[in-house]
């Protein structure tokens, strides 16, 4: 397999992981009331010692972290 194909595969997998995580977060909020969304954001923010605003950052970082993790795992198992 050529090196460019490996990089393309890793990029696609990372993109799918990030999009899937974002869709899961969006799906969890679908149909939720404002109070439930605020409570969820506050809970997520409490993971990093903050409140609702920190929860927004945590929710925004989740798809990026998932994409980076998948890219890293695939990089380990794909020969370059």
* pLDDT tens, residue by residue, 51-73: 999 999 998 888 888 888 888 88
Whole-model pTM above 0.75?
no
Half-sphere exposure of 48 (CA within 13 A, CB side): 16
pLDDT of 25 reads: 73
Q: How many CB atoms lie within 10 A of CB 41?
A: 21
pLDDT of 21 reads: 75
């Amino acid at each position: 397999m050529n090196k460019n194909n490996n990089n393309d595969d890793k990029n696609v997998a990372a993109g799918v992981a990030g999009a899937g995580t974002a869709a899961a977060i969006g799906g969890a909020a679908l149909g939720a009331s404002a109070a439930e969304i605020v409570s969820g954001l506050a809970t997520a923010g409490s993971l990093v010692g903050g409140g609702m605003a920190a929860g927004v950052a945590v929710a925004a970082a989740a798809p990026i972290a998932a994409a980076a993790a998948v890219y890293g795992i695939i990089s380990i198992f794909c020969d370059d």
